[in-house]
Amino acid sequence: MKNNKKWGMLALIMMFWFTISFITNILGPLIPDIIHNFELKDLAMAGFIPTSFFLAYAIMSIPAGILIDKYGEKPVLFTGFLMPFIGTVLFACFPFYLILLVSSFIIGLGMAMLQTVINPLQRVVGGEENYAFIAELAQFVFGVASFISPLVYTWLIHALAPGVYQPGKNFLLDILADITPVTLPWVSLYWVFTVLLLIMLLIVSLVHFPRIELKDDERSGSSASYKKLFRQRYVWLFFLGIFCYVSTEQGVSIFMSTFLEQYHGIDPKTVGAQSISYFWGSMTVGCLFGMFLLKLIDSKRLLQISGILSMSLLLIALFGSAEIAVWAFPAIGFCISMMYSIVFSLALNTVTQNHGSFAGILCSGIVGGAGGPLLVSLVSDATSLRTGMLLILIFMGYITFIGFWAHPLVNNKTVSLKELVTFKKQK
């Protein structure tokens, strides 16, 4: 692949990651609006929304790899964008609670397909020697999009608010105002998603993508390999680790704004949404900082430290004042930013074979995004939101526990700070 074409393709892949993140991590700011506008009786009904999304995600993770083998990358990539396009149009046209559940499920199916095909695609395009760097760049873009989407939500809610919106001042706002219910201004965000997805569909239909040859650690194994793995205790322990991580990430981001509103009277449309934006932003910074720390500190020790810090911050956020909560919640994003990659690498470094099957099982642990928030909402309805969010402390505690009992065959290579600085100077 020629250099110019290679960089153009990589830029396109980063656009894909931006789109995925921009759409999937917006639930937190929307939950208070969904509860109020649809007059939901309890938090569990709101919790069903991320449940429907992540349940679809878990269901499609392994089949998507089979579809790539059978039909190739382009049809799977196109279908992966088509599914969320259908889901967003469906809800934008019919903004009702039950339609939102169906829409979230359809979007989840498509996003699972996209992540399954984009990961090996960026390896093929960028080359194996650059794969680690490109993966980190993708993670950075993913975080930037998660940081921006709540800010776009805040801007749209304000711009379309009665008394603020003035017809004829902004062409795009005029269009959104015409097709969005006056009482549901946040639904305009789904029209923004629709346009973004339509652009991606047009690009995918016009661009020629290189053929993907899945590596062993990207390919789903035979049924025998799965049966063998399912009999191993460590497989279930690491699966639970991924489940707990996603439960933590989504539990904090989804209920943060609602907590700030209920306990401190903070407007979810402004400061609440900004706090969620800062949560994803601090997670992005944490990923970059984590790359540096992993060169200096053993990953298990780093997991222990980040786990203890994140648990401390959660307790501070839940029991502190409003001023403390609005910085403690976002700071959790920084502390948990390295957990997923560390747990995943510890798991794969524990086995010598069947990495593809094991990776598929671990990816299915993303169902934690369905189970975790639902558990939090059910406990919250029975007690209080503060008590429900204390469940996240258990999720964090289990991840921290992995840092003590994991015994990988290969540890991450570390150097002293002096050696790292000397190496950089030599380069």
pLDDT at position 1 is 54
CA distance 214 to 218: 6
Is 151 exposed, middle or buried (CB count within 10 Å of its CB: 0-12, 13-18, 19+)? middle
What is residue 221's predicted lDDT score, i.e. its pLDDT?
A: 58
Whether the model pTM is above 0.95: no
CATH code linked to domain 1-214: 1.20.1250.20
Domains 1-214 and 221-427 share a fold: yes
Q: Which of 181-190, 201-210, 287-296, 415-424 has the lowest mean pLDDT?
A: 415-424
As a whole number of angstroms, the distance between CA 218 and CA 115 comes to: 12
| b (16+ CB within 10 A) / e for 239-274 | bbbbbbbbbbbbbbbbbbbbbbbbbbebebbebbbb
Q: Which of 88-97, 132-141, 308-317 has the lowest mean pLDDT?
A: 132-141
Quote the pLDDT of residue 418: 60
Q: Return the top range by mean pLDDT from 288-297, 393-402, 418-427.
A: 393-402
User: How far is it, in rounded angstroms, from Cα 188 to Cα 284?
Assistant: 27
pLDDT of residue 8: 87
Average pLDDT over residues 164-179: 90
The stretch 326-353 carries a mean pLDDT of 88
Q: Is residue 427 predicted with pLDDT exceeding 60?
A: no
**Residue 87: Cβ-neighbour burial (10 angstroms; 0-12, 13-18, 19+):** buried
Q: Which CATH superfamily is domain 221-427 in?
A: MFS general substrate transporter like domains (1.20.1250.20)
Alpha-carbon Rg for the chain, nearest whole angstrom, is: 21
Which of 192, 204, 237 lies closest to 89 in space, CA to CA? 192
CB neighbourhood size of 232 (10 A):
14
What is the structure's pLDDT at 407? 80
CA-nearest of 256, 193, 239 to 371 is 239
Query: Do 29 and 150 form a contact (C-beta atoms < 8 A)?
Result: yes
pLDDT bin (cut points 50, 70, 90) of residue 164 is: confident
The mean per-residue pLDDT over the stretch 65-82 comes to 86
* pLDDT beyond 60 at 426: no
pLDDT above 70 covers a percentage of the chain that reads 89
What pLDDT, in 10s, does the model give residues 272-325? 999 999 999 999 999 888 878 877 888 899 999 999 999 999 999 999 999 999
What number is the average pLDDT over the span 15-42?
Answer: 91
- Asked if 286 contacts 338 with a C-beta cutoff of 8 angstroms, the reply is yes
- How much is the mean pLDDT over the chain? 87
pLDDT > 80? residue 100? yes
The answer to whether residue 219 scores a pLDDT higher than 80 is: no
**Cα–Cα distance between 145 and 124 in angstroms, integer?**
24
Residue recorded with tokens 């889901």: 87
Higher pLDDT among residues 7 and 390, named by residue:
390
The better pLDDT of the pair 346, 120 is held by 346
- Residue 410: the pLDDT is 63
Which pLDDT score, from 0 to 100, does residue 165 have? 87
Domain ranges across the chain:
1-214, 221-427
Q: Tokens standing for 416?
A: 């002293």
Return the structure tokens found at 323.
């001023």
